[in-house]
Amino acid sequence: MAIKVILVEDESGIRMLLKKIIEKKEEFQVAGECDNLADAVSLFARLKPEVVFLDIEINGASGIDCAKIIADMEPKTKIVFATAHSEYMSEAFEVYAFDYLIKPFDIERVERTLDRILSLQEPEPLDHLDKIVRYERGLDRLLVKGRESMSFVDIQDIILVQRENNSTVIYTKQDSFTTSAGLGDIEAKLDPDVFLRSHKSYIINVSKIKKIEPYGRWTYIVAFKDIDKDALITADKYEEIKKRFS
């Protein structure tokens, strides 16, 4: 299945150029495009693309703010800023941008970005996690309050906590539990020697990590034992995990 891309750019010539470059690669499909940020969010919600090419400034509005909304909706979205404004680069990477293209950009530079995205589809694992962390506090439980119910979850069973669509979802091997509690509230109740706030949208159980792979320039992706879910981890948190296991 082709990797879906949307283009958010107010210059029609730039959109046309990007579309031409992207669709030269059969692995990609430009699923939609728009020339303003208001439409960008609704387009993203409807099409759910894996990649967004986004200008920093569109008709006086901030592409950074738009990127934050998109990242909250789906943290693993690869956001590529394509802009004439180099001064916003540090802000762009605060929202974990996948890449930052400076206009006027050449075809080869865009193609390198696309090739990097493709290389992440079947990445080679990194074998840094060669020790096992054991968590024996089996009686510890977390009270999870849902809209109409309460659940008690053994903390040792928690694999991943993720922010999804304005709710927080706690994943174990057998079940998932949804709550309105924020990640910060849950993080405060977990053992910091076992659980790590790997990203603004994720808390991970480091004893449940199966592998970590590159996912963009400053981000990695974590796969877990026992569940078919993954999480993002920032470069600094990745270095922290390597130190834990060294």
99 compared with 229, residue with greater pLDDT: 229
Number of domains comprising the chain: 2
Q: Would you say residue 136 lies in a domain?
A: no
Are 240 and 196 found together in one domain?
Answer: yes
Are 107 and 205 found together in one domain?
Answer: no
Residue whose entry in the numeric block shows the structure tokens 């999870």: 144
Domain that holds residue 214: 141-244
Q: Would you say residue 133 lies in a domain?
A: no
**Distance separating alpha carbons of residues 13 and 17, to the nearest angstrom:** 6
What would the pLDDT profile of 46-91 be if each residue is shown by its tens digit?
999 999 999 988 887 888 889 989 988 888 899 999 888 777 777 7
Are 76 and 176 found together in one domain?
Answer: no
Average pLDDT of the segment spanning 177-192: 89
The answer on pLDDT for 172 being more than 80 is: yes
CA trace torsion 116, 122, 127, 133 (10° rounding): 110
Are 9 and 87 found together in one domain?
Answer: yes
Domain boundary (64, 89, 119) is at 119
The answer on pLDDT for 203 being more than 90 is: yes
Domain of 73, CATH number, reads 3.40.50.2300
Are 95 and 181 found together in one domain?
Answer: no
What pLDDT score does 32 carry? 96
Contact (CB, 8 A) for 186 and 203:
yes
Q: Would you say residue 127 lies in a domain?
A: no
Percent of the chain with pLDDT over 90: 49
Domain of 178, CATH number, reads 2.40.50.1020
What pLDDT score does 122 carry? 53
Task: Read off the pTM.
Answer: 0.61
What would the pLDDT profile of 114-142 be if each residue is shown by its tens digit?
998 988 865 444 444 333 333 333 337 78
**Long-range contact pairs involving 57-64 (C-beta distance under 8 Å, separation at least 24):** 57/83, 57/85, 58/8, 58/9, 58/10, 59/10, 59/35, 61/36, 61/37, 62/37, 63/8, 63/37, 64/88, 64/91, 64/92, 64/95
Q: Would you say residue 191 lies in a domain?
A: yes
Q: Would you say residue 135 lies in a domain?
A: no
**Distance separating alpha carbons of residues 217 and 225, to the nearest angstrom:** 25
Are 70 and 156 found together in one domain?
Answer: no
41 compared with 138, residue with greater pLDDT: 41
